[in-house]
């Protein structure tokens, strides 16, 4: 079980997040929606433990993976090295199997710059799922992709989530993505105390 209990989050004297409380069950997928700039990415960084400067508490498993808006790959490392470096317990064969499941079979020796944006995003997903995370956090993982590529990414994400069953929370501006992947949708809205759940 993942539990979020944020009383407040400030940037200086500016309130960003107000009271926000929710839970995510194992195997549940939760979508966070709301206008741009309202604090959705900040909420994900708090959930992941990247931003500890807030009032409240977070309960989450230690084994988590974060898929950022940008692929955040190591450009000087090969595709397979980008999978193996964060997961030293993986064998090369396990990494190759995950790449094959992600539609990247035969690209093990390429470098990120040699991949399309869609392929880079597939690699980011493969890297996240390679560790079999108990909690998966995704910040607009399909943004700026054309519709066909986004659909293929949705297919892959849906399959990986179904197979691995992590607790998943992701940010999206596309209700089609939320309707397809999420068991539950939470909307953030602006208040004088900062963004709160609608």
pLDDT band at 63 (very low <50, low <70, confident <90, very high): very high
**Pairwise CA distance, residues 93 & 178, whole Å:** 33
pLDDT of residue 185: 96
Q: Which residues pair with 14 in a beta bridge?
A: 11
Helix (H) or strand (E) holding 27: none
Give Cβ neighbours of residue 82 (< 8 Å, ≥ 6 apart): 73, 74, 112, 123, 127
47 has pLDDT over 90: yes
Hey, how many other C-beta atoms are within 10 angstroms of the C-beta on 72?
13
pLDDT of residue 107: 95
Give pTM, 2 decimals. 0.92
Q: Which residues pair with 135 in a beta bridge?
A: 64, 167
CB 56, CB 43: distance < 8 Å: no
Hey, how many other C-beta atoms are within 10 angstroms of the C-beta on 132?
13
Hey, how many other C-beta atoms are within 10 angstroms of the C-beta on 6?
24
Q: What is the pLDDT of residues 93-152, one digit of tens each?
A: 999 999 998 889 999 999 999 999 889 999 999 999 988 899 999 999 888 888 888 888
pLDDT of residue 197: 87
Angstrom CA distances, 180 to 45, 119, 146, 175, 183, stand at 24, 21, 17, 8, 9
pLDDT band at 158 (very low <50, low <70, confident <90, very high): very high
């Amino acid at each position: 079980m993942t539990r979020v209990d944020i009383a407040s989050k400030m940037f200086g004297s500016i309130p960003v997040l107000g009271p926000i409380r929710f839970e995510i069950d194992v195997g549940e997928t939760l979508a966070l929606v709301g206008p741009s700039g309202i604090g959705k990415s900040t909420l994900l960084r708090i959930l992941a433990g990247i931003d500890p400067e807030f009032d409240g508490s977070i309960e989450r498993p230690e084994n988590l993976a974060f898929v950022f808006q940008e692929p955040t790959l190591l450009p000087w490392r090969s595709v397979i090295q980008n999978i193996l470096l964060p997961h030293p317990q993986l064998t090369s064969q396990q990494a190759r199997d995950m790449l094959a499941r992600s539609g990247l079979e035969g690209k093990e020796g390429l470098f990120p710059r040699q991949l399309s944006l869609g392929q880079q995003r597939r690699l980011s997903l493969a890297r996240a799922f390679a560790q079999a995370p108990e909690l998966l956090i995704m910040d607009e993982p399909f943004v700026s992709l054309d519709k066909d590529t986004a659909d293929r990414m949705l297919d892959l994400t849906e399959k990986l989530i179904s197979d691995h069953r992590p607790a998943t929370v992701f940010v999206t501006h596309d209700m089609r993505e939320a309707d397809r992947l999420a068991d539950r949708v939470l909307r953030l809205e602006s208040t004088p105390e900062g963004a709160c759940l609608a």
